[in-house]
């Protein structure tokens, strides 16, 4: 048996028990290891779905161009789908993303436009604004807009959620994931809560992001917004894919705690993962220590692979320069 193209390899990723980093936690902790997708990240699932839904709606036609603002992983998923389907890709990225991410996207044939991080989302030079402008200028182009495109959530409702339910034999009682666009956590949460209404969902946020305070108060507080280093989680906007009713609580994790846990996952569990994976695990374990018992099964999503962060998290000099290592 063989696959007709690389995108047919998306999904059915393994669930792996964490054994060493879980000291002091009574619950069984399982990691959904999404780097087994062909683009090495969870974003392959929704990238393919956004393109397929756009094709069905007639938004993109043969020979078209996909234009998206990405922190790297969605771009990779879109690029693989574009190769299989014959589209061109242009991606806008903020300049805080690692050089590896930019080079990987170029390697799979995408054009990359790097934009400044420290500007407001509505600023004409932000990576959101540049993507929108290019979409208006280029004919037969499709701007998926992963933040507000509900195909993002639908992909996880249809694939990731059922996989986790089946892989745990329905024993999952708590689910945790980083929140960026919101598609992963909300798609999976919606499916799992339909199977078990008592299931608790923990969103992992970062300092410098608006999510946690918005969930707790309903206030979009611009004072919460400031630059942070962690890639792939937290936002300075409220994406339509973030359905706060599906997330029971948020935990914020510092850049340093996320970075150090990322390295621990590689050294102690053999899971060579990306920065937001460490953040997700750190936050999930903090929640588990306080709220979960031996009867609980906690599943946490590990979104991507460590190759994206060789120049940062896995570089001792960089880690020391940030003050993360002594």
For residue 325, the number of C-alpha atoms closer than 13 Å in the C-beta half-sphere is 16
43 is known as an active-site residue: yes
Distance from C-alpha of 44 to C-alpha of 210, rounded to nearest angstrom: 26
Using DSSP's 3-state secondary structure scheme, residue 273 falls into strand
Residues 6+ apart with CB under 8 A from 129: 121, 122, 123
Distance from C-alpha of 39 to C-alpha of 42, rounded to nearest angstrom: 8
Distance from C-alpha of 7 to C-alpha of 38, rounded to nearest angstrom: 7
End-to-end CA distance of the chain: 51
Using DSSP's 3-state secondary structure scheme, residue 289 falls into helix
Residues 6+ apart with CB under 8 A from 235: 147, 179, 180, 181, 209, 210, 211, 242
**Chain centre distance of CA 215:** 19
Which residue of the set 17, 26, 43, 200 is catalytic?
A: 43
Are 63 and 89 spatial neighbours (Cβ–Cβ below 8 Å)? no
Distance from C-alpha of 52 to C-alpha of 44, rounded to nearest angstrom: 12
Q: List alpha helices for the chain, DSSP H.
A: 43-56, 73-85, 99-107, 127-137, 151-158, 160-167, 183-195, 211-217, 255-269, 275-291, 316-321
Q: Residues with catalytic annotation? A: 43
């Amino acid at each position: 048996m063989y696959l007709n193209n690389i995108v047919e390899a998306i999904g059915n990723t393994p669930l792996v028990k964490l054994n060493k980093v879980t000291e002091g936690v009574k619950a069984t902790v399982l990691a959904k290891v999404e780097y087994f997708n062909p683009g090495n990240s969870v974003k392959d699932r929704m990238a393919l779905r956004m393109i397929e839904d756009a094709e069905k709606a007639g938004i993109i036609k043969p020979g078209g161009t996909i234009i998206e603002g990405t922190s790297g992983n969605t771009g990779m998923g879109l690029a693989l789908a574009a190769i299989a389907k014959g589209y061109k890709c242009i991606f806008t990225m903020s300049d805080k993303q690692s050089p590896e991410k930019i080079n990987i996207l170029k390697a799979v044939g995408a054009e990359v436009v790097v934009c400044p991080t420290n500007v407001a989302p509505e600023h004409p030079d932000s990576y959101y604004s540049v993507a929108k402008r290019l979409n208006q200028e280029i004919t037969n182009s499709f701007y998926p807009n992963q933040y507000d495109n509900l195909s993002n959530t639908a992909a996880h409702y249809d694939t990731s959620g059922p996989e986790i339910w089946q892989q745990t034999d329905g024993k999952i009682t708590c689910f945790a994931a980083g929140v960026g666009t919101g598609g992963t956590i909300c798609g999976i949460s919606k499916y799992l809560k339909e199977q078990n209404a008592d299931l608790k969902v923990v969103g992992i946020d970062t300092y410098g992001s608006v999510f946690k305070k918005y969930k707790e108060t309903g206030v979009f507080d611009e004072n919460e917004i400031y630059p942070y280093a962690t890639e792939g989680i937290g936002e300075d906007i409220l994406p339509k894919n973030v359905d706060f009713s599906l997330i029971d609580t948020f935990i914020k994790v510092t850049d340093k705690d996320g970075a150090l846990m990322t390295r621990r996952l590689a050294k102690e569990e053999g899971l060579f993962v990306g920065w937001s994976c460490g953040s997700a695990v750190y936050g999930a374990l903090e929640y588990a220590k306080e709220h979960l018992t031996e009867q609980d099964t906690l599943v946490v999503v590990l979104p991507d692979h460590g190759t994206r962060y060789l120049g940062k998290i896995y570089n001792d000099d960089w880690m020391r320069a940030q003050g993360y290592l002594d």
